[in-house]
């Protein structure tokens, strides 16, 4: 199946992705993806499994510190995988935040998320 959530980390070395219908986060070396001289098996060997994200999601984003952000529509939240210790933490939650989807870290320092919001 396809990916639903994709982001490149700050230094461009890894492409993070969430397979559609999965709760897991993976990454692959971007150098391997663009190198036409290596085999699919060699590309596959660069894949890292970053574990369960604690729920289903649609959006991914990264920041300059190497953290990865993920929406979590099952729990009306936005999560962050901390680069420093690979721990998931909730950075935003609201019961009215319905189906958070696309994420964007803007130049103003804010993390924006598209979602249906019930009042």
CATH number of the CATH domain containing 18:
2.120.10.30
Integer Rg of the chain from CA: 15
DSSP string, the chain: --EEEEEE-TTSSEEEEEETT--EEEEEEHHHHH-TTS-HHHHHTT-EEEEE-SS--S-EEE-TTS-EEEEETTTTEEEEE-TTT--EEEEEE-TTEES---EEE-TTSPEEE--EE--
pTM: 0.87
Q: Domain of 53?
A: 3-117
Model confidence over 16-61: pLDDT tens digits?
998 877 889 999 999 999 999 999 999 999 999 998 887 888 889 9
Domain count, the chain: 1
Nearest Cα to Cα of residue 30 among 62, 7, 60: 7
Is 1 a residue whose pLDDT tops 50?
no
């Amino acid at each position: 199946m396809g990916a639903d959530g994709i982001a490149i980390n700050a230094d461009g070395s890894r492409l993070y992705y969430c397979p559609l219908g999965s709760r897991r986060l993976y990454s692959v070396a971007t150098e391997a993806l663009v190198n036409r001289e290596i085999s699919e098996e060699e590309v596959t060997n660069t894949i890292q499994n970053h574990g369960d994200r604690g729920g289903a999601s649609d959006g991914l984003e990264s920041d300059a510190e190497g953290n990865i952000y993920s929406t979590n529509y099952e729990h009306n939240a936005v999560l962050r995988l901390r680069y420093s210790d690979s721990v998931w933490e909730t950075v935003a939650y609201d019961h009215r935040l319905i189906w958070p989807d696309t994420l964007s870290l803007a130049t103003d320092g804010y993390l924006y998320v598209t979602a249906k919001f019930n009042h």
